């Protein structure tokens, strides 16, 4: 081993010893529980404060209840060079030795880190984003200090502002992580790549770093990710858009391949024309941690609701999701808040007893936060525990008294009905470990049980067992009576790229449930079978919800069958299908003669005509045809339906071309044009980065 590695490990061990503190040595937190307002019926207590922890940012629990905290040292370093030189941050491990809900000891699990943001305990190790890498940290001798640091993938640019987060475990077994606005070029362990971009979003890979994907893009700083029981992905996002002179943060419902309404940077994903809106718009609250409540201690009314930290607003919001169409409506109320200026909720997570752990990072942060102009590191953070007054605390919440090693398959499968989330999670991992040997029993129990919740849990588990027989059980669930079960089955078969399920999946494209239709389309896109193209076009529906329409068009783009798409471009009896065919062809960047869409530029259908013109404005090789389009638009200057977006797009696309400049100058000098129209043209010209001499 490198002598420096020995030295670094020795330093960490010595730090760990120095940081072992009895609870009697804890200081009072900067914000006392009495200064925190919470909904009636709940109680807030201190779980950890200084000197056990000073500036906690994000955290996770391991399978023994130990808390791993990504922590700041209280400084605001603003460049990558400074951060890589200083390596000022670290991961701290807290242990509650007597099980009273208050942490007793603290060690530095991993020191000398750049910007650890997140944390996931998975299969005996801590996975964490610490730019520029996604890391796997493992403690080989259980002394509270990580002995092994493994780079899973990279790399991501950073400058001291929190812009990479995660990872988060998806129900399909993949790791999801967020961020990226400062730039990235993610390269997986198998050589898979995201591409180079500064468009932030959500990304995923397998735990060993294989199969890097860009799942969705938009906003400036997507943060925490959660999944519904059906596999729908949501995240908080700082700076979703800035329309109306005001910044808006948001909660986003992501779809595979989706772009949000505003993307900052050049996206790597193709445009479907269906930009994802915010599920909830919050103003400038700086959303941070997010958790879906899975336990029973708060009561049935809280099951599957979300708790979202709002850093700037000094509060935690409870968000209830209501399915509508192919997405969600939200009902929100303040759950917890404090008027203390230094109180900044940064992360929230659920403990095994059903209580919530809330991380207040304190007052140290100033860099990149418009509401925290002045750093106040003297205001230290803390970890608070939130529990319901009349909570029903489960016995043995981790299932430690169960004899796991000798448990029979039927008993193990039965634990998927257990009300204790940690027990269910442990059962799933054990089932995956058993592999093919458990499939027969699992299939039998699945077929005998009609409870949709249990059946979905079975499907998620079996989808992660990479055996042919597991696919048989999932395929049978495509025809389940419950829409949620059908949705999970479709998602799982898409992830497994099961070509044998294409015929049944195409049947689900006309399911009565929009979520199922979207999941089926997404699955077909992942599978990539050209046989699905006619069905996808046949069931394209302009009255479908936006998320569902996106799923259909993105699936056609993923399949990438240009030959199969062209007949629908020519089908004048169905203008909507022609529009979607145009989008797919444009997304594929396929070679196409301008003559193929010239008839569409004069279509009697205004939406199709606009779609064709927008596509044409992006194709420089079609310049002669586009000059004609510009002249036609100039003649329509008095129309109330004039497409200014298209005119601006044409100017931005072709202003450097001599022929187009001539047409533009001719229009500007025409005595027959209204001054208002010429003013609009000048405003469009003003957006040019490089103004041609002829237009000066």
Kindly report the average pLDDT of the chain as a whole number. 91
Q: How far apart are CA 308 and CA 332, in angstroms?
A: 10
How many Cα neighbours within 13 Å face the side chain of 549?
18
Specify whether the CB–CB gap between 105 and 77 falls below 8 A. Answer: no
Domain-embedded: residue 505: no
User: Does any domain span residue 382?
Assistant: yes
Q: Which of 29-33, 442-446, 628-632 has the highest mean pLDDT?
A: 442-446
On the question of pLDDT at 69 being above 50, the answer is yes
Whichever domain contains 330, its CATH number is: 2.120.10.30
In a domain, 246, yes or no: yes
Q: For residue 25, is pLDDT > 60?
A: no
Q: Which residue has the tokens 């409506």?
A: 329
Question: What are the distances in angstroms from CA 343 to CA 42, 54, 119, 293, 315?
Answer: 19, 13, 22, 23, 9
In a domain, 649, yes or no: yes
Position 6 pLDDT exceeds 70: no
Say if residue 21's pLDDT is above 50. Answer: no
DSSP 3-state percent helix, strand, coil across the chain (nearest 5): 35, 25, 40
**Any domain includes 411:** no
Domain that holds residue 685: 613-695
Residue 232 exposure: Cα atoms within 13 Å on the Cβ side: 26
The model's pLDDT over 421-437, given as tens digits with 9 standing for 90+, comes to: 999 999 999 999 999 99
Which among 464, 420, 419 has a CA at the least distance from the CA of 439? 464
What pLDDT, on a 0 to 100 scale, did the predictor assign at position 2? 36
The H helix count followed by the E strand count for the chain is 20, 28
Among 338, 354, 388, where does a domain finish?
388
Better-scored residue on pLDDT, 405 or 649: 405
pLDDT given for residue 480 in this prediction: 98
Which of 207, 175, 79 lies closest to 131 in space, CA to CA? 79
463-484 as b/e, with b when 16 or more CB fall inside 10 Å? bbbeeeebbebbbebbebebbb
Q: Choose one of 338, 360, 388: the last residue of a domain.
A: 388
- The rounded distance, in Å, linking the Cα atoms of 332 and 125 is 35
Residue with token string 């041609």: 692
693: left (phi over 0), alpha (psi -120 to 50) or beta: alpha
Assigned domain for 570 exists: no
pLDDT at 1 over 50: no
Number of domains in the chain: 2
Phi-psi region of 352 (alpha: psi -120 to 50; beta: other; left: phi over 0): alpha
Q: What tens digit of pLDDT does each residue of 508-565 get?
A: 999 999 999 999 999 999 999 999 999 999 999 999 999 999 999 999 999 999 999 9
Domain stops at, among 352, 367, 388: 388
Q: At what angle do helices 606-617 and 623-635 cross, to 10 degrees?
A: 130
Cα separation, 583 vs 75, in Å, equals 48
Q: Do the domain assignments include residue 126?
A: yes
Instruction: Please tell me the total number of residues recorded for the chain in this structure.
Output: 696
* SS3 labels along 334-360: EEEEECCCCCCEEEEEECCCCCEEEEE
Examine the pLDDT at 101 and tell me if it is beyond 80: yes
- DSSP classification of residue 116: B
pLDDT single digits (tens) 271-321? 999 999 999 999 999 999 999 999 999 999 999 999 999 999 999 999 999
Q: Which carries the bigger pLDDT value, residue 373 or residue 607? A: 607
Strand pairing category for 258-263 and 213-219: parallel
Residue 467, in any domain of the structure: no
Cα 257 to Cα 174, 519, 554, distances in angstroms: 16, 13, 7
Terminal-to-terminal C-alpha distance of the chain: 66
This prediction has a pTM of 0.89
């Amino acid at each position: 081993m490198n002598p420096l590695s020995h030295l670094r490990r020795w330093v960490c061990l010595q730090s760990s010893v120095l940081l072992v503190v009895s609870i009697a040595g804890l200081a009072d937190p900067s914000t006392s529980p009495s200064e925190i307002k919470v909904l009636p019926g709940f109680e807030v207590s201190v779980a950890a404060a200084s000197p056990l922890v000073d500036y906690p940012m994000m955290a996770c629990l391991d399978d023994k209840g130990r808390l791993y905290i990504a922590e700041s040292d209280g400084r605001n370093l603003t460049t990558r060079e400074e951060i890589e030189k200083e390596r000022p941050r670290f991961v701290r491990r807290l242990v509650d030795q007597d099980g009273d809900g208050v942490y007793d000891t603290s060690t530095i699990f991993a020191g000398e880190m750049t910007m650890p943001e997140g944390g996931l305990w998975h299969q005996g190790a801590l996975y964490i984003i610490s730019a520029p890498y996604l890391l796997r940290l493992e403690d080989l001798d259980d002394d509270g200090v990580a002995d092994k640091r493994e780079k899973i993938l990279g790399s991501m640019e950073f400058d001291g502002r929190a812009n990479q987060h995660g990872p988060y475990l998806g129900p399909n077994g993949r790791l999801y992580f967020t961020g990226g606005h400062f730039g990235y070029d993610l390269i997986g362990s198998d050589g898979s790549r995201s591409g180079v971009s500064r468009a932030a979003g959500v990304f995923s890979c397998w735990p060993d770093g294989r199969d890097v994907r860009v799942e969705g893009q938009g906003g400036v700083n997507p943060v925490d990710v959660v999944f519904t029981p059906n596999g729908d992905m949501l995240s908080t996002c700082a700076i979703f858009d800035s329309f109306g002179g005001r910044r808006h943060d948001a909660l986003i419902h992501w779809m595979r391949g989706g772009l949000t309404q505003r993307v900052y940077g050049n996206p790597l994903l193709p445009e479907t024309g269906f930009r994802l809106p915010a599920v909830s718009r919050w103003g400038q609250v700086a959303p941070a941690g997010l958790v879906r409540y899975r336990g029973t201690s708060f009561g049935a009314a809280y099951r599957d609701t979300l708790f979202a930290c709002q850093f700037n607003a000094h509060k935690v919001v409870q968000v209830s999701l209501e399915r509508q169409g192919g997405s969600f409506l939200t009902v929100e109320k303040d759950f917890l808040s404090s008027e203390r200026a230094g109180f900044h909720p940064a992360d929230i997570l659920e403990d095994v007893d059903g209580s919530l752990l809330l991380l207040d990072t304190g007052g140290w942060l100033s860099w990149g936060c418009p509401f925290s102009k002045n750093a106040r590191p003297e205001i230290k953070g803390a970890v608070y525990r939130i529990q319901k007054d009349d909570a029903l605390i489960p016995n043995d919440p981790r299932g430690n008294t169960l004899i796991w090693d000798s448990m029979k398959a039927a008993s193990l499968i039965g634990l998927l009905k257990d009300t204790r989330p940690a027990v269910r999670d442990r059962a799933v991992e054990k089932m995956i470990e058993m592999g093919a040997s458990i499939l027969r029993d699992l299939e039998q129990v699945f077929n005998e049980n009609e409870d949709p919740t249990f059946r979905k849990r079975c499907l998620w588990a079996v989808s992660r067992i990479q055996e042919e027989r597991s696919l048989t059980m999932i395929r049978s669930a495509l025809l389940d009576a419950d829409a949620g079960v059908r949705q999970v089955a479709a998602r799982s078969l898409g992830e497994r790229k099961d070509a044998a399920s294409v015929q049944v999946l195409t049947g689900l494209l006309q399911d009565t449930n929009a979520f199922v239709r979207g999941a089926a389309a997404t699955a077909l896109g992942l599978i990539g079978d050209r046989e699905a193209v006619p069905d996808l076009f046949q069931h394209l529906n302009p009255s479908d919800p936006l998320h569902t329409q996106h799923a259909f068009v993105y699936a056609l783009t993923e399949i990438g069958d240009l030959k199969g798409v062209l007949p629908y471009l020519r089908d004048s009896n169905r203008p909507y299908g022609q529009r979607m065919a145009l989008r797919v062809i444009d997304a594929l960047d396929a070679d196409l003669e301008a003559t193929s869409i010239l008839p569409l530029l004069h279509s009697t259908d205004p939406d199709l005509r606009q779609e064709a013109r927008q596509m044409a404005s992006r194709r420089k090789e079609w310049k002669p045809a586009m000059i004609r389009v510009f002249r036609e638009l100039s003649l329509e200057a008095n129309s109330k339906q004039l497409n200014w977006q298209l005119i601006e797009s044409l100017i931005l696309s072709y202003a450097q071309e001599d022929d187009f400049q001539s047409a533009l100058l001719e229009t500007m000098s025409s005595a027959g044009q209204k001054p208002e129209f010429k003013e609009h043209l000048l405003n469009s010209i003003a957006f040019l980065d490089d103004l041609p001499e002829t237009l000066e």
